[in-house]
Amino acid sequence: MGRLLALSIVAGSVYIQNLAALPSFFELLLAMGGICGCLILISRVLLWAERSDQSFTTSMLRTLRNILLLILIMTVSCAWSTKRAEWRLQDRLDAAHENVVTKLSFLITGLVQDQGDSFRFEAQVLDEDQTHSERPGIPRHIQVVWRKSNDDRGLPEIIPGQIWRAALIFRKPRSALNPHGFDYEAHLLSRNIRAIGRVRGVPVLVRDEPFASMQVIVSRGRQYLRSAMRKHVVDMTYGAVLIALAIGDQDSVSPEHWEVFNKTGITHLVSISGSHVTMLAAFGGFSMLWAWKRLRWGGRSLAEKVPAKIMAALTALLVAWMYCLLAGWGVPARRTFFMLLVSGLALLSRLPIRASSVLCIAAAIVTMIDPWSGVSTGFWLSFGAVAVLFYLGSQTQNLTNETYSWHQRCWRMFKESARLQWLITLSMLTALAYLFQQVSISSPLANAIAIPVVTFIVTPLALLMGVVALMPWLDVVAQGIAWGAHFALDWSMMPVGWLAYAPWSSLSVSAMPIWCLVISLAGIAWALQPPGVPLRWVGWSLLLPALTWQPQRPAPGSWRMIAMDVGQGGGVLVQTSRHMLIFDVGPRMGVSDAGQRVVNPLLRALGVKHIDALVVSHSDIDHAGGLPGLLKETPVSISYSSFNLEQWIKLQRIKLKQNHSGPMPLKMLNCVVGQKWIWDDVTFSMLHPEKEAVAKDSADQASGYKEKKVRSNAQSCVLHVKGRYHSVLLPGDISIKQENEILQRTASEDLRADVVVVAHHGSLTSSSQNFISLIRAQHAIAQTGYFNRFSHPAGEIERRWRASHVQFWRTDQHGAVIAESDDKELRLYSEAVSHKKYWHEREFSLENPP
């Protein structure tokens, strides 16, 4: 019953985090009161039934009492999570302070991350000049982005504990909302970051307060240790990984290394995992056990006053807590610490407790402390993997039987470890497929190579290097330890890197419905039964629905279009019965791009293994920037572009230093007016540009001519898609001049579209009234970024579309917009509405003026 009560706490918290709106706290209190009243009544009736010796009635009442008790605990958890969410949402950025310059003072509370062109850190807004109540609408907890400039050279090193006064431009946390995409707003909410401020001008250092709070002390210690370690690993390929193994600074690890770790399923090894915390705690506990038995005070052994086992347990807990703080207090670290805490308290109080109870209690404590932990995938993967490990460990045979020789015991331990790793991989297969739509086939082999090296060689050496690096007089020793750790990691990563880029390394699966996941988990539970249970193998067959699920595709003559939320850029997906077309791939985003972050995950979720046609309207980075990331993972049969695509891709790969970049499209053509093809009774027609203009533009590029942006926009490919029932127009970034040219040479019936992606994101240079009138669209979609610097879409353009009785959609407000055409109707819906969560701040309306 205790485990069910703990799981009820987790269930209540997770339920709240999946709601579109928070329930009323007062109504939850009333529900709690009603349930308590029912429990009191049932307890009185149960007492009467026990005295009357009515066994059947007593059994029913006890079952009902237990059910109500579980509901009560779940309701309490819901109420607690709701109140915590209300408190956090109240600390929000008011619209009056958004996208305007605000001068204030802030305290750096988090580890400072160097992003190459900027610094990024968490901070707390202070009341240096006036009370916070006099400046309403500015949240206490913010993230600061400080772009580097020449004016910063005379400033001191930026470290936690410093108080700066600066001019900031605030924006609300805003996430790109796409089907099956990462919710960045949820991530920031879980970290209590309620606004993002970008520094303008040169900040002024007010003072330094190294002991301002516990968070500042820990962050300052982590940054000092990171700086000490960086001196010894700065030129090493995996230097950032060694630092991450010691203090959990994962943000410094390069995207290329993360790609290898993710594809081979060894991410848990290169982050602060439970094994690292447990190993250090065990080392501290055994050291104290050895020392306490030998220490004496006043002629008596200290172990006579306080048992050595108690001191060892307390020391292990203290070491685990300190290391978890140093590691950043992530979900795996928290899970491990509270499991050790529960186990330690049970040991000290001499109470027997099951491993499953320890895991359930730890999960309940984690969710009570942080109700948003259930939103993270790490929560489920961490607790799920440990649960499987506990269950399998209970079936493990005794491997220390002295009847076997030492080499026989070693061989049996090796086989048992391999069996556990294989079974854990299979057990987590469908969970990983459900969360990421990707399964690592090479994971068992990669883990078999990396686990012994990383766990028993690299991690201890990285921790030892961190300790020695704090002693300047031992720099030579620290350098030697760093070299040894890096040598071992480098050699183990060679075969792992090969596995990561092998063609069979990973398997992409479609986004499955929840019932597939439930069936697969039931099958796994049956397959993991102890030997002797009949037909255990049948359980593994229940994984097939989850791994082979395919979403429903449009019927012949119908189509589905997704105008993706890629920020300030263009990216559209058009799917027919058996084909897939991508029109533009979004912008580049720092070290990554929209192709990697948005397009590829969406294609995996839809079960798309390759792209039949790729149209890149023009070479501007907001439309073509996602190409490197897209081609790295998804093959393309044929491409159309208004520029030399092959040359452009090669230059981008050189600039980005991509070693594993994927193949080029099999066939590359220029888009010209008159091109037409038919897929599944859906006609695709190219309406722009003209062949002569493309030829002249290609000649200019070949001669070294650097094209102007206006000319690039004017050369945009314009694609018209016409199904049996409805049509869509994709105009790129053309201007009014090109719109008029298209109107002159195109029949009105061939131009008409029910859905149109607004040209040039709604710029004043496009969407003439004549063009809008002749298209006769029902829906217009503007792909724009939140508070973009171009102020797209222009208010005049939006009003012009709405005045023509067109529903106007904006990706910065609605997220991705999905349009589906079939013989019944044309349906449009947005990700912001269909998958709304209570923390999403989107204010919009689709109503047209009368």
pLDDT in tens, 690-722: 876 665 555 555 444 444 444 689 999 999 999
- The 3-state DSSP class for residue 687 equals strand
Sheet holding 571-575, edge to edge: 667-670, 636-641, 611-616, 580-585, 571-575, 559-563, 817-821, 826-830
Residues 679 and 825 in one domain: yes
Residues 742 and 814 in one domain: yes
Whose CA is closest to 492, among 251, 242, 252?
A: 242
Q: In the listed set 90, 114, 131, which residue is the last one of a domain according to the structure?
A: 90
**Cβ contact 487:493 at 8 Å:** no
Q: Please give the Cα distance from 825 to 813 (Å, whole number).
A: 24
Flag whether 260 is in a domain: yes
Handedness of CA 689, 694, 696, 701 (dihedral sign): positive
- Least reliable range by pLDDT among 214-218, 278-282, 387-391: 387-391
**Strand (E) or helix (H) holding 698:** helix 691-702
Q: Please give the Cα distance from 750 to 120 (Å, whole number).
A: 50
Q: Quote the percentage of the chain above a pLDDT of 90.
A: 51
- The 3-state DSSP class for residue 276 equals helix
Per-residue pLDDT at 133 exceeds 60 = no
Per-residue pLDDT at 269 exceeds 80 = no
Residues 446 and 567 in one domain: no
Per-residue pLDDT band for 534 (boundaries 50, 70, 90) equals confident
Range from 174-183, 533-542, 811-820 that averages highest in pLDDT: 811-820
Mean pLDDT, rounded, of the chain: 87
**Cβ contact 16:78 at 8 Å:** yes
Flag whether 146 is in a domain: yes
Flag whether 282 is in a domain: no
Give the model's pLDDT for residue 616.
96
User: How far does CA 548 lie from the centroid of its chain?
Assistant: 24
Residues 503 and 577 in one domain: no
Q: Please give the residue range of the domain that contains residue 783.
A: 559-834
Per-residue pLDDT at 539 exceeds 80 = yes
Burial class (CB in 10 A: 0-12, 13-18, 19+), 364: buried
Whose CA is closest to 822, among 678, 724, 753, 728?
A: 724
For Cα atoms 611, 612, 614, give the angle at the middle one, nearest 5 degrees: 70
Total domains present in the chain: 5
Residues 651 and 705 in one domain: yes
**Strand (E) or helix (H) holding 208:** strand 196-208
Per-residue pLDDT at 643 exceeds 70 = yes
Residues 524 and 618 in one domain: no
Token pair belonging to 667: 């066939």
Flag whether 329 is in a domain: no
Residues 409 and 527 in one domain: yes
Give the model's pLDDT for residue 710.
43
Q: How many residues does the chain have?
A: 850
**Amino acid at residue number 541:** S
Per-residue pLDDT at 773 exceeds 80 = yes
Span 677-685, average pLDDT: 96
Helices 429-436, 377-395: inter-axial angle, 10-degree rounding: 170
Partner residues linked to 406 by β-bridges: none
Q: Please give the Cα distance from 755 to 583 (Å, whole number).
A: 15
Residues 39 and 183 in one domain: no
Q: Please give the Cα distance from 191 to 170 (Å, whole number).
A: 17
Q: In the listed set 171, 187, 212, which residue is the last one of a domain according to the structure?
A: 212
Flag whether 292 is in a domain: no
Token pair belonging to 7: 């799981």
Could you tell me the CATH number of the domain that includes residue 182? 2.40.50.140
Give the model's pLDDT for residue 769.
94
Residues 579 and 463 in one domain: no
Flag whether 84 is in a domain: yes
Flag whether 357 is in a domain: no
DSSP 98: B
Per-residue pLDDT at 129 exceeds 70 = no
**Strand (E) or helix (H) holding 541:** helix 537-541
**Amino acid at residue number 709:** K
Range from 247-256, 277-286, 737-746 that averages highest in pLDDT: 737-746
**Cβ contact 792:822 at 8 Å:** no
Per-residue pLDDT at 538 exceeds 50 = yes
Burial class (CB in 10 A: 0-12, 13-18, 19+), 131: exposed
Span 354-369, average pLDDT: 88
Per-residue pLDDT at 425 exceeds 50 = yes
Span 391-415, average pLDDT: 64
Per the model's pLDDT, the better-predicted residue between 282 and 672 turns out to be 672
Q: Please give the Cα distance from 798 to 813 (Å, whole number).
A: 13
In tens, the pLDDT along 559-604 reads 999 999 999 999 999 999 999 999 999 998 877 899 999 999 999 9
The DSSP annotation for 5-21 comes to HHHHHHHHHHHHHT-SS
Token pair belonging to 630: 């897209």
Per-residue pLDDT at 343 exceeds 90 = no
Span 273-281, average pLDDT: 76
In angstroms, how far apart are the furthest CA atoms of the chain?
105
Flag whether 788 is in a domain: yes
- Least reliable range by pLDDT among 148-162, 510-524, 776-790: 148-162
Distance between first and last Cα of the chain: 61
Give the model's pLDDT for residue 276.
74
Q: Please give the Cα distance from 301 to 715 (Å, whole number).
A: 87
Q: Please give the Cα distance from 305 to 53 (Å, whole number).
A: 52
How far is residue 712 from each of residues 2, 716, 789, measured CA to CA in Å?
66, 7, 19
Could you tell me the CATH number of the domain that includes residue 650? 3.60.15.10
Span 505-515, average pLDDT: 89
Residues 757 and 664 in one domain: yes
- The 3-state DSSP class for residue 58 equals helix
Residues 643 and 758 in one domain: yes
Range from 83-87, 93-97, 418-422, 536-540 that averages highest in pLDDT: 83-87
Q: In the listed set 41, 75, 90, which residue is the last one of a domain according to the structure?
A: 90
Residue ranges of alpha helices (H) inside 157-305 are: 184-190, 214-233, 239-247, 255-264, 274-292, 302-305
Residues 538 and 600 in one domain: no
Q: Please give the Cα distance from 617 to 712 (Å, whole number).
A: 9
Per-residue pLDDT at 848 exceeds 60 = no
Per the model's pLDDT, the better-predicted residue between 21 and 411 turns out to be 21
